[in-house]
Amino acid sequence: MAYDRIKWTDEAVERPNTWRETTNADGSITHTKSPGTVMQAGTPVNATNLNHIEEGLQHCGVAYDLLAVTTQMQIRAMQKEIATLQAAVAALA
């Protein structure tokens, strides 16, 4: 299964990192984001998108392990073939 890439975009707002402060009845303070005009909504950094990355990394790891095992099997088969051929050449001499 191919990895479906997420095209990440930055949030573009009129006033980045700007907050409105409200004093609550109990004396605590609540900060609310106050970005002004949002020119571009960014890609949310949330569990769904982060887990998508994790899944892609896991698939890469599995594919690498499969490639490594297959390569080792091929190397061992070639080494046996070389040994067989060397023995055949030595028998001719």
- pLDDT at 47 exceeding the cut of 80: yes
- pLDDT at 76 exceeding the cut of 70: yes
- pLDDT at 1 exceeding the cut of 80: no
| 40 Cβ neighbours under 8 A, 6+ residues apart | 9, 10, 11, 12
DSSP secondary structure code for residue 25 in this structure: T
Q: What is the pLDDT of residue 74?
A: 98
8 A C-beta contact, residue 34 and residue 13 = no
DSSP secondary structure code for residue 53 in this structure: H
Task: Residue 34: name the closest of 49, 50, 13 by CA.
Answer: 13
8 A C-beta contact, residue 23 and residue 55 = no
